[in-house]
Each structure stands twice: as C-alpha cells, then as structure tokens.
Structure 1
C-alpha cells in the first residue's frame, strides 16, 4: 500500500508533474504579460519582472527534472506527447 494520499500517488508519475509545471509556467507568463500591459508605473514593471523570474525558475526546475528522468527507464516523451496520450 503506497504511503500518502491518492493525489500524491498520482503526482508521483513524472508526466503529471510535468504537466502541472508547464501549466504553472503558462500562468506565470500570462501574469507577466498582463501585469506589464495593464499595471502602470514601477509597480507594473516590478510585477512583470517577478512573474518572469518565477516562470524562468520553473523552467530551470523542469529542465533539471527532465534531465534526471532521462536516466530512468520511464517512457516519458515530453509534455506534448503526455497531453496527447491523456486526450486520446
């Protein structure tokens, strides 16, 4: 019997974590664009830079996570194939 909740067991799959990370990166990038376009002054610039840094940090984490997964025998082929496999 696995330790943890059902959600943590489902997130143990690399593809699920990858999809969640990519969704968070998308939200961060959209936040950067929205805050850069619609918030005026230095608050808008600071917000945009913070969202860009958050997105870049997630990108680096995902890259390191993908490199670590390459050493395993997992059949992960990237987030796009993961989404296509879940849709079809």
Structure 2
C-alpha cells in the first residue's frame, strides 16, 4: 500500500492521484474482509467493507467529476459539456 500511497500523494497528474486513492480504498476493503476472517466475524466485516467500498466509489466519482469540470481533465480537443 505504500507504493500506492506515494502515487496518491505525489502523483504527477490529478488522474494518477485519483487512481491511487481508489486503489487504497479497494485494498482497505480487502483488508477489512481479511480482518473479519481473522476474528471469525466475517458477516459483520462484510457489511462494513461493502459500506466502505460504496463510499469510496461515490467519493472517487464525485472527485473525478469535480476535476473534470474545474481543472480540465478532458482531452484538449473536446468540448466540456
């Protein structure tokens, strides 16, 4: 996760940072499932992991829409509609 954290903090572009944040969220979801397996309470940790994954997905979508509208992440030749 340290390599992905480096990409999320020091990425050369905003897209690299968004992908890094999304990858950290995915790895955290898997880590929550593994913790559930360790404590023999998978049913509880699956609910937490699903809620976290959904929150991560919505947050990355919102951030990508924001940066697409405000920072011009679309291709130079396209119109921003």
In the alignment, structure 1 segments of 5+ residues that lack a partner are: 1-6, 77-88
2:79 aligns with none
Q: TM-score, normalised by structure 1?
A: 0.53
The whole-number CA distance in structure 2 between the counterparts of 1:49 and 1:18 is 25
Q: TM-score, normalised by structure 2?
A: 0.57
Structure 1's 52 and 28: CA in aligned 2 closer, same or farther, altered over 3 A?
farther
Could you tell me which of 29, 42, 45 is aligned with 2:43?
Answer: 45
Whether the 8 Å contact between 2:8 and 2:19 is mirrored in structure 1 is no
Whether the 8 Å contact between 2:33 and 2:42 is mirrored in structure 1 is no
Number of residue equivalences: 68
1:8-23 alignment runs, 5 A limit: 10-11=10-11, 13-23=13-23
Structure 1's 30 and 71: CA in aligned 2 closer, same or farther, altered over 3 A?
same
Q: Is 1:56 equivalent to 2:30 in the alignment?
A: no
The whole-number CA distance in structure 1 between the counterparts of 2:24 and 2:8 is 18
1:1-88 alignment runs, 5 A limit: 10-11=10-11, 13-31=13-31, 34=34, 38=37, 43-72=41-70, 73-75=72-74
In the alignment, structure 2 segments of 5+ residues that lack a partner are: 1-6, 76-81
SS at match of 1:74: coil
